[in-house]
């Protein structure tokens, strides 16, 4: 039987096949292969996102370092609250319901366990505000910077600093949820029972003990002091 082999490919055909294979391999792994532009975008966005998060965290830390030393814990006979140092003479702003009808108080500054004595200067229950003064202001007492409450805007990031549930030097974070609220403090639970106008509403967690503390913006300015508990008139609890 006469078995014939198929003719070998011509050199030109074989060279073309080898060239095509080389080009395919180069297209899969070579440096000149085209890249999806979305890959470069996602890789560039990741460092930017990390930088933005780091910047925000640094801003929080800076505000806390600026303001927290100015926030104190105030202990009355029947109530516990917070206060904000107003000046280096020992004046402290707090809520009227924190001081109640008492005249003397025990005050603990941030970062210290030493109890200081303070006396009532004045109380104004219609706005739930009061001022007490330390009998012997310690060296290095740091006054807070008070801002302009009417300039507070909805959506601003704020930090609430105080002694919720007796846990001194605590910080929570949120935003300004609304401004210009008219709210009524509960009278049965130790509040003044007053209806207070132009209040700032915030999403930052506020608990018993935060009363009289600081609501602070990212410029380290105190824009308000959280009341004990409030409800909108006619809206129930």
User: What pLDDT is attached to residue 19?
Assistant: 41
Q: What is the pTM of this model?
A: 0.74
User: What pLDDT is attached to residue 23?
Assistant: 39
How many other C-beta atoms can be found within 10 angstroms of the C-beta atom of residue 123?
Answer: 21
How many angstroms separate the Cα of 103 from the Cα of each of 90, 138, 147?
A: 16, 20, 28
User: What pLDDT is attached to residue 112?
Assistant: 86
> Is 58 part of the annotated catalytic residue set?
no
Q: Report the C-alpha gap between 85 and 73 in whole angstroms.
A: 11
Q: Report the C-alpha gap between 192 and 233 in whole angstroms.
A: 15
What share of the chain in percent tops pLDDT 90? 51
Instruction: Assess contact for 209 and 80: CB atoms under 8 A.
Output: yes
User: What pLDDT is attached to residue 53?
Assistant: 84
Is residue 90 exposed (0-12), middle (13-18) or buried (19+ Cβ within 10 Å)?
Answer: buried
> Is 128 part of the annotated catalytic residue set?
yes
Q: Is the dihedral of CA 110, 112, 113, 114 positive or negative?
A: negative
Q: Which of 70, 79, 91, 97 is catalytic?
A: 97
Classify 53 as helix, strand or coil: helix
How many angstroms separate the Cα of 108 from the Cα of each of 37, 130, 204?
A: 58, 17, 23
Q: Which of 79, 82, 123, 128 is catalytic?
A: 128
**Domains of the chain, CATH where assigned:** 69-134 (2.40.10.10), 144-231 (2.40.10.10)
Per-residue pLDDT of the chain (237 residues; tens, 9 = 90+): 454 555 554 555 444 443 444 434 444 444 545 566 556 566 666 677 678 888 889 999 999 999 999 999 999 988 899 999 999 999 999 999 999 999 999 999 988 889 999 999 999 998 899 999 999 999 989 999 999 888 899 999 999 999 998 899 999 999 999 999 888 776 655 566 778 888 899 999 999 899 999 999 999 999 998 876 555 555 554
User: What pLDDT is attached to residue 175?
Assistant: 96
User: What pLDDT is attached to residue 26?
Assistant: 47
User: What pLDDT is attached to residue 153?
Assistant: 94
Under DSSP, the state recorded for 193 is -
The torsion angle over the Cα atoms of residues 206, 207, 210 and 212, rounded to 10 degrees, is 80
């Amino acid at each position: 039987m006469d078995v014939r082999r198929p003719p070998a490919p011509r050199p030109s055909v074989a060279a073309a096949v080898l060239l095509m294979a080389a080009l395919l391999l180069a297209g899969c792994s070579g440096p000149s292969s085209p890249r999806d532009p979305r890959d470069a975008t996602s890789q560039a966005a990741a460092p930017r996102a990390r930088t933005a998060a780091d910047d925000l965290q640094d801003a929080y830390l800076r505000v806390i370092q600026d303001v927290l030393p100015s926030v104190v814990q105030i202990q009355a006979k029947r109530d516990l609250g917070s206060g904000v140092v107003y000046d280096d003479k020992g004046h402290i702003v707090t809520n009227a319901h924190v001081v109640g009808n008492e005249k003397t108080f025990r005050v603990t500054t941030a970062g210290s366990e030493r109890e200081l004595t303070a006396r009532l200067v004045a109380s104004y229950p219609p706005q739930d505000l009061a001022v007490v003064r330390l009998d012997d202001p310690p060296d290095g007492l740091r006054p807070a910077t008070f801002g302009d409450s009417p300039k507070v805007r909805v959506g601003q990031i704020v930090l609430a600093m105080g002694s919720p549930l007796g846990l001194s030097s605590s910080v929570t974070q949120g935003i300004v949820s609304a401004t210009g609220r008219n709210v009524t403090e509960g009278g049965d639970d130790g509040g003044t029972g007053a209806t207070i106008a132009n209040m700032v509403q915030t999403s930052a967690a506020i608990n018993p003990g935060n009363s009289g503390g600081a609501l602070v913006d990212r410029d380290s300015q105190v824009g308000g002091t959280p009341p004990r508990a409030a409800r909108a008139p006619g809206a129930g609890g």
